[in-house]
Structures are given as C-alpha cells and as structure tokens.
Structure 1
C-alpha cells in the first residue's frame, strides 16, 4: 500500500467520490471482507460486494487473501493507498489553466496554479511508484497588522524569490533538470471554518 495515490482517470475519480465507496476506501486502510465491512458500515453484504467490485475494477482496492468459510470463499480486500487525491487531470475539460488568465493577485489564478501543481506532482508520484520524488515545500502562517503590510510583504517576497531564481537558474547547464517553483499567500482558515 502506498501512502498517497493520485487519481487521474475520470471514471476512477467518479467511483472513488461516491459516498459509500469513499467510506469503504477509508475503512479499507485496514484489510477487511464484505462481511466485516457490512457490519462496520451498517450495509448489506451484497451492497458492499457491489461497491468493492467497482473499486477493484478501477485499481482502488486489491485482494489481500481468500479464506474458505464453509461452502463460500471470503475475499479480504484493502485500499491500494492510505489516502487518495483526485487530480484536476481527472476532469480534463474542467481543469483550470494558469496561463489562460495570469492575474497573480486573483484567487482563481492561485487555484489554477494549485491544480497544475497537483497534476504535475501527481504524475511524478505515479511515475515514480515507490521511489521518492525530490520535492521541497514550505508551509507556514503569518498575521499581518494591515493590508499595507501584506502588500509590502508580497512585494518583498516576490523580489527575494526573483533574486534567488536569477542567482541559481542556469538554462544552459548540461544535465540540469528544470524544477517548478510555486510560492503562494492566501488567507488562512480558522479551525472551525469548513474546508
């Protein structure tokens, strides 16, 4: 089982986002059978089997073992990852394009950049399999005293990042590898706000 899998196929995303199937994926972080899952989720075994087949068809769950119980075979399944992220690529026609309207101060542009980040890192993780992907992220929170302070901070941050990029970017480096850099600032949500 991998830590996080990225779902980039639209049909697999639709299957995973069904409320009952999402519950099953969560429960199957620990292997279980249709019988144990039915009892845990308060569903019929037949209904659980139906949903498990759909999840298995799209590679979201896998067979761990088969056990003989009387005249029947119990299939023990588990999720193929402990967490799933749906890539905007799954909804290719709806995926936002950051190059379409590059208003760097708009929330819509930030969402488009985040969607591209998810698409690209998702593709890298999927291609790498169990190997690690060289990435780096900074996550923090800052409280500004005023809008003017926020504006000054974003200007300074932008200038600092541009200077750092100019210092290390080498377009002609033999064997060099391009990396994408994303820096974002947005209002933080309080713990009681719905996400």
Structure 2
C-alpha cells in the first residue's frame, strides 16, 4: 500500500468522491471483505460488494486474498493507498494556470502554483512507477511567528533574495545533460483548528507557514 496515490483519471476521481466509497477506502486501510465492511458501514453485503467492484475497476482497491467458505469465495480487499489526492489533470479543461496572472502577493495565484505542483509531482510519480524508478524530491515545511506585518514583508524580501542568489549560483543554462528543475517557495498564514477538529478550518491564525518545495526526478 502506498502512503499517497494521485488520481488523474476523471472517472476514478468521480468514483472516489462518492461518500460511501470514500468511507470504504478509509476502512480498507486494513484489509477486509464485503461482509466485514457491511457491518461497519451499515449497508447490505451486496451493496458493499458493488461499490468494491467499482473501486477495483478504477485501481483504488486491490485483491489481497481469496478465502473459501463452503460454497462461497470471500474476496479480501485493501485500498491501494492510505490517502488519495485528485490531480488537476482530472479537470484538465479548467485546471489552474499560474502563468495566466502571476502575482507573488495573490493567494489565488499561490493556489494555482500549488495545483501545478500536485499535477507535476503526480505525473512524475506515475511515470517513475511505470519505469520502476524513484523520484528524487526535496521539501521544507515549517512554521514561523512574525511580530509584525513589516517583519513578514522583510522576511519575504530576504527569502526571495536568498533564493535568487542560490539560483544564480547553481543554474547552468549550457550544462550538457543537465535537467531543468522547478523551485517553489511559499508563505501563507497557518490555519487555526480546535484539537480533534476534522471539518472546515476556522479563522486563520497569526502564525504564517513558510514552505519551500523543489521537485525533481532522477
């Protein structure tokens, strides 16, 4: 089972968004049969089996083993990943395009950049899996508390200068056999949640999160 799987097929995305099937995917982090799942989700076994076959058809669950019980063969299934991310590729005609309106201070532009990151890394993972190779990536995720908006602006300016310096130092336009890489640096307010909260986030807190992601494939 993978930690995270990226869904790129629109039909698979639609299947995964069904509330019942999403619940079954969560339950199948631990292998189970239609009979076992029926008791957990409160549905008839036949109904659960129908949903499992649909999930299996789109590669969201997989067969672990078959158990013979009298004249019945019980199929034990497992989710193919612990978590799933739907790639913007699944909505190709309307996926965000960061080049449309680049604005370093726009939250919506940041969202478009993040969407492209999901799309690109998802495609790298898919391609690497087919080639049986690994994708080499690097990311930093941390938090910082600013005393004032002025300090936040100064941090952003110095961070941009530092990244620009590093890019100038290591970028080699004429490198034979070199490969282009994308570097993404973002700062956004952290989300304040109550302990154990799983629903919609509350108000944004005063602690922005600084995140830097650089993706690359060997």
The TM-score, its normalising length taken from structure 2, stands at 0.86
1:50 alignment partner in structure 2? 50
Once residues 175 and 190 of structure 1 are traced to their aligned partners in structure 2, the CA distance between those partners, rounded to angstroms, is 46
Deviation at 1:2, TM superposition (A): 2.0
Structure 1 residue runs of 5 or longer lacking an equivalent are: none
1:160 alignment partner in structure 2? 162
2:68 alignment partner in structure 1? 68
2:188 alignment partner in structure 1? 186
Deviation at 1:68, TM superposition (A): 1.7
Once residues 188 and 18 of structure 2 are traced to their aligned partners in structure 1, the CA distance between those partners, rounded to angstroms, is 30
Deviation at 1:44, TM superposition (A): 1.1
Deviation at 1:28, TM superposition (A): 0.9
Deviation at 1:191, TM superposition (A): 2.7
1:149 aligns with 2:156: no
Calculate the aligned-residue CA RMSD, in Å.
1.3
Partner deviation per Cα, 1:86-106 (whole Å, 9 max, x = no partner): 111111122110000101110
- Contact 1:65–1:75 (8 Å) recurs in 2: yes
Once residues 26 and 6 of structure 1 are traced to their aligned partners in structure 2, the CA distance between those partners, rounded to angstroms, is 16
Partner deviation per Cα, 1:138-195 (whole Å, 9 max, x = no partner): 1111111111111111111111111110110001111111110000000011232734
Once residues 191 and 140 of structure 1 are traced to their aligned partners in structure 2, the CA distance between those partners, rounded to angstroms, is 17
Once residues 77 and 64 of structure 2 are traced to their aligned partners in structure 1, the CA distance between those partners, rounded to angstroms, is 5
2:113 alignment partner in structure 1? 113
Structure 2 residue runs of 5 or longer lacking an equivalent are: 202-218
1:10 alignment partner in structure 2? 10
Partner deviation per Cα, 1:92-145 (whole Å, 9 max, x = no partner): 122110000101110010000000000000111111126431110011111111
Higher relative contact order structure (alpha carbons within 8 Å, sequence separation ≥ 6): 1
Q: Which runs of structure 1 show a deviation greater than 2 angstroms over 4 or more consecutive aligned residues?
A: 191-195
Structure 1 or 2: more strand by fraction: 2
- Contact 1:5–1:126 (8 Å) recurs in 2: no
